[in-house]
């Protein structure tokens, strides 16, 4: 089986096992029988051991990453792709973290929803963020409905509008209205809801 080892940076090597596995490995983790730069044939047993080392490294990278904050499966997958791990190694590491409950897309969705609610984000903006993470709608829709009420959304919209108008009080009425509507629409609020909030503010 053909193995290629190249320097990725000062402390990391890139391993490629043709038709088998690949990824990044710290130089200190490479068995001493291999030079830091190598291209040649190795046995099936040697290839199996290197793939095992890569799988353990991928798991370690994910566990360290997840210890800092809640992450989605997509974020974890992209991290390991940036580290140039092969698809099978990536999926095995993600499965391991899911089994250990280190990765939970449902928990991530709830954390994201609460975080954006605290910032007074619109429902449409929150849905867009959830879709960015390619989370299935059946996973997050019940959580969103549970935590997001129309009354709270109206209150958040009125508060955002009030603060915006206070910060732009020097503007003429028509210019202020134009800018306020554009600002809130960019935040994902519907024009009819913005109009209702504006009428109440008047």
Structure tokens of 60?
């370690």
Residues 40 and 118 in one domain: no
CB contact at 8 A, 161 and 176: no
pLDDT of residue 36: 86
Residues 93 and 58 in one domain: yes
Arithmetic mean of pLDDT over the chain: 90
Query: What's the pLDDT tens digit per position in 31-80?
Result: 999 998 999 999 999 999 999 999 999 999 999 999 999 999 999 999 99
Give me the number of domains the chain comprises.
Answer: 3
Residues 154 and 169 in one domain: yes
H helix count then E strand count, the chain: 9, 4
Residues 113 and 159 in one domain: no
Q: Does 164 have pLDDT greater than 90? A: no
Residues 130 and 190 in one domain: no
Please name the residues in contact with 200: beta carbons below 8 A apart, sequence gap of 6 or more: 158
pLDDT of residue 194: 83
Can you give the residue range of the structural domain that contains 181? 150-201
CB contact at 8 A, 53 and 66: no
Q: What is the CATH number of the domain that holds 185?
A: 1.10.10
Residues 94 and 180 in one domain: no
Residues 16 and 95 in one domain: yes
Residues 10 and 81 in one domain: yes
Residues 177 and 115 in one domain: no
**Would you give the distance in Å from CA 111 to the centre of its chain?**
12
Query: What's the pLDDT tens digit per position in 123-139?
Result: 888 999 999 999 999 99
pLDDT of residue 202: 67
pTM of the prediction? 0.75
Three-class HEC string of 38-58: EEEECCHHHHHHHHHHHHHHH
Residues 75 and 24 in one domain: yes
Residues 19 and 88 in one domain: yes
């Amino acid at each position: 089986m053909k193995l290629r080892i190249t320097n990725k940076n000062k402390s990391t090597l890139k391993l490629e096992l043709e038709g088998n596995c690949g990824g990044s490995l710290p130089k200190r983790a490479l068995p001493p029988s291999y030079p830091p730069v190598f291209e040649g044939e190795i046995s099936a047993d040697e290839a199996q051991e290197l793939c095992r080392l890569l799988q353990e490294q991928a798991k370690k990278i994910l566990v360290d990453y997840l210890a800092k904050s809640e992450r989605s499966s997509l974020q974890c997958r992209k991290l390991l792709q940036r580290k140039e791990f092969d698809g099978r190694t990536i999926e095995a590491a993600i499965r391991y973290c899911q089994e250990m409950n280190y990765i939970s897309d449902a928990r991530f969705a709830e954390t994201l929803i609460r975080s954006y609610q605290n910032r007074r984000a619109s429902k449409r903006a929150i849905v867009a963020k959830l879709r960015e993470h390619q989370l299935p709608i059946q996973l997050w829709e019940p959580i969103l409905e549970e935590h997001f009420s129309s009354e709270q959304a109206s209150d958040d919209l009125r508060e955002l509008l009030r603060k915006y108008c206070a910060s732009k009080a020097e503007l003429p009425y028509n210019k202020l209205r134009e800018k306020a509507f554009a600002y809130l629409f960019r935040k994902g609020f519907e024009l009819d809801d913005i109009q209702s909030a504006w009428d109440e503010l008047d």
